[in-house]
Amino acid sequence: MQRAGFAASRLAALTNVMQGYVERGDVAGVVSLIWRRGEIGYFEPLGLRDEASQLPMERDTLFRIASMTKPVTSAAIMMLIEEDRLALDTPISLWLPEFAAPRVLRDPTGSLDDTDPIRAPLTVLDLLTHRAGFAYHFTATGPLAEAYAAAFNGFEATGDTSAWLARIAALPLMFQPGTRWHYGVATDVLGVLIERVSGMPLGEFFRTRIFEPLGMRDTAFWVPDTQLARLAAAYNVDPGTRRRVVEDHPATSRWANPRRFQSGGGGLVSTAEDYLQFAQLLLGRGRVGATRLLSHRSVDLMRSNFLSRDQRRLPAFGHVIWAGQGFGLGLSIVDDPAQQLPLGYRSLGSFGWPGAYGTSWFADPVENLIGVMLIQRRSIDPFPMTIDFERRVYDAIDD
């Protein structure tokens, strides 16, 4: 018997599967961590964090966690709601007057000038549940996609969130608020909302209110020069050759700039052990050890499905993803485990949200289990490594 109720031989099978992805060149390296019932049962770095320098993955390697940032931003919003500084039904225009009178496209693929007025004000809940009508350049088509691609230009290095927000507010919404789930910049807008309500930069709010209380020393929007050697190189996949190419290298990394845009939707860097602390906060219904940051009620809401039956029937990312899971406040939640198969193995009530660089995590209240798998491989195409990881984690339980 292995620690935390895992069979050592079955964890070896997990290692072999992860190592296979490294040996085939699908990824340069990976850090995998499994926590169960109060202890870490598996923590394995494999491969390289930097192929050019032949530097190995380490347990404390830093990763760009992309949209794994979103649950952190959502938790921060819930903290402000508990302090009565916001409510789920608060119109965001009270704090973000840029959204006093947004327009909505009549045709999501059509001209940006062909619009209707919004029928209901944008609320905090619309943003948390991705039902505000925002998009990303890769989740929109036509003129709107081009406009979203341009909206981020020039803000990566300067970090001027108000100027960025003004540019986003000038774009029409893709759908009427509240009507359907559509992935977009809603959580980045929440990040600006946190700055306006709290009166401090988003990274400062995260550091003082979440990261320091949880002991997350390595999680931030930028990496100091003294720590850059720990940052893994990030790769993209060339669509022609299907080979990995370096997208962001530690020596020239955009994350080395302390003034870079603080993206509540995808800007954080973290480690497996740091993010485990945050995952424990949500699995523990707002508390890790003696530290409580959120009430039971707030976390239970984050872990509840808010999508209607009709909204769950609509495809996202080109296919139906809501058959076995719903979406809460920044998290997906499994509410029909059988409907996940063959793409998922999580228990009823399990939750998480992945990132575009292939980073992923999940927390399972039935097994009292957290899994974290960190890689740096950006791709919009489906990549089976996360599914293989989760399957082998569940296969290894032996108690």
Domain count, the chain: 2
DSSP letter string over 94-116?
A: GT-GGGSS-EEESSTTS-TT-EE
Question: pTM (2 decimals)?
Answer: 0.98
Q: Which domain holds residue 58?
A: 8-62+214-307+317-356+367-396
CB 179, CB 130: distance < 8 Å:
no
- On whether residue 1 sits in a domain, the answer given is no
Which of the listed residues 152, 179, 202 is the one where a domain comes to its end?
A: 202
Retrieve residue 197's tokens. 């309500």
Q: Are residues 235 and 296 in the same domain?
A: yes
- On whether residue 3 sits in a domain, the answer given is no
Q: Cβ atoms within 10 A of the Cβ of 205, count?
A: 23
Closest CA to 111 of 144, 147, 151: 144
Per-residue pLDDT of the chain in tens (399 residues, 90 and over written 9): 578 999 999 999 999 999 999 999 999 999 999 999 999 999 999 999 999 999 999 999 999 999 999 999 999 999 999 999 999 999 999 999 999 999 999 999 999 999 999 999 999 999 999 999 999 999 999 999 999 999 888 788 788 999 999 999 999 999 999 999 999 999 999 999 999 999 999 999 999 999 999 999 999 999 999 999 999 999 999 988 989 999 999 999 999 999 999 999 999 999 999 999 999 999 999 999 999 999 999 999 999 999 999 999 999 988 889 999 999 999 999 999 999 877 789 999 999 999 999 999 999 999 999 999 999 999 867 789 999 999 999 999 999
Burial class (CB in 10 A: 0-12, 13-18, 19+), 78: buried
Q: Are residues 227 and 190 in the same domain?
A: no
- On whether residue 117 sits in a domain, the answer given is yes
Q: Are residues 324 and 255 in the same domain?
A: yes
**Residue 217 CA: distances (Å) to CA of 207, 210, 212, 223, 347:** 9, 11, 7, 11, 31
Which of the listed residues 175, 202, 229 is the one where a domain comes to its end?
A: 202
Q: Are residues 84 and 147 in the same domain?
A: yes
Give the whole-angstrom CA distance, residue 277 versus residue 282: 9
- Greatest Cα-to-Cα distance within the chain, rounded to the nearest angstrom: 64
Q: Are residues 152 and 191 in the same domain?
A: yes
Q: Are residues 301 and 181 in the same domain?
A: no
Q: Are residues 92 and 164 in the same domain?
A: yes
Q: Are residues 233 and 322 in the same domain?
A: yes
- On whether residue 146 sits in a domain, the answer given is yes
Q: Are residues 101 and 141 in the same domain?
A: yes
Cα angle: 130, vertex 365, 279; to 5 degrees: 60
- On whether residue 98 sits in a domain, the answer given is yes
Q: Are residues 148 and 174 in the same domain?
A: yes
Which positions ≥6 away from 102 have C-beta within 8 Å? 118, 122, 133, 169, 172, 173
Strand pairing class (287-288; 103-105) = unpaired
313 three-class SS: helix
- On whether residue 277 sits in a domain, the answer given is yes
Q: Are residues 58 and 106 in the same domain?
A: no
Q: Are residues 100 and 237 in the same domain?
A: no
- On whether residue 188 sits in a domain, the answer given is yes
Q: The domain that contains 171 carries what CATH number? A: 3.40.710.10
